Chains A and B, each alone.
Chain A
Amino acid sequence: AQSVTQPDIHITVSEGASLELRCNYSYGATPYLFWYVQSPGQGLQLLLKYFSGDTLVQGIKGFEAEFKRSQSSFNLRKPSVHWSDAAEYFCAVGAAGYSTLTFGKGTMLLVSP
């Protein structure tokens, strides 16, 4: 069975500082990996995805993530955080031939002035 761990429930970052949100997954084969963002009271929006190929993936809003098979990780990064990035971030794992995704429990990002 697939599983996703986001070790950090909350993270506070100063505006302008760099950000890294951690995600570890458990899956036997090559996974499909996703990062979603949820603003308060809203649905989830896709930031980026990894299916295959280049392990460094660029997404929207200046985010990127790196797939590291040896570490079973897919960490999300941004070089300079903006106050509008404050939201909850979810990592998810899926697989070829399977329609469903398994989500982590989320990391709440707080941005301090």
Chain B
Amino acid sequence: DVKVTQSSRYLVKRTGEKVFLECVQDMDHENMFWYRQDPGLGLRLIYFSYDVKMKEKGDIPEGYSVSREKKERFSLILESASTNQTSMYLCASSFFFGTSAGELFFGEGSRLTVL
């Protein structure tokens, strides 16, 4: 069964802390994504990566950075967490080519609370 695993389901951090959210996929997907989900706003794309060491900004990249050192792993970094970054964070992956290109597979999410 395909799997996208997010390292932490729930995190509580303090303002100003550096936060790492880790995501691993076992499907050999080229693309990986980080979305943020807030009530009434749906899913908003933060960053995505189509290859190792490659990254592209999404719709709301401010306050975030990402790292992709290996194909299967994509990390989201909050350099200095703020209360307005309290949210649910969803990682996803997909193929770049082929008949399933574009279909996203999601992890279960990481709920971050910043105090």
Contact = CB atoms under 8 A, between A and B. Distances in A.
Interface of A: 9, 32, 34, 36, 41-46, 49, 51, 90, 92, 94-96, 98-101, 103-106
B74 interface: no
Closest 6 CB pairs of A and B: A43-B106, A105-B42, A103-B43, A44-B106, A94-B102, A43-B108
Contacts of A9: 40
A49 to B, nearest CB: 6
Contacts of B109: 41-43
Interface residues of B, number: 26
A101 B102 contact: yes
B50 interface: yes
B94 to A, nearest CB: 7
Interface in B34-91: 35, 40-43, 45, 48, 50, 58, 90
Contact of B103 (A34, A96, A103, A104): A34
| Chain A interface main SS type | loop
A90 B43 contact: yes
Contacts of A49: 103
Interface of B: 4, 31, 33, 35, 40-43, 45, 48, 50, 58, 90, 92, 94, 96, 99, 101-109
A46 B2 CA distance: 13
Nearest to B107: A43
17 contacts: A32-B102, A34-B103, A34-B104, A42-B108, A43-B106, A44-B43, A44-B90, A44-B104, A44-B106, A45-B106, A95-B102, A99-B50, A100-B48, A100-B58, A103-B43, A105-B40, A105-B42
B52 to A, nearest CB: 15
A100 B109 CA distance: 18
A101 B41 contact: no
A32 B103 CA distance: 9
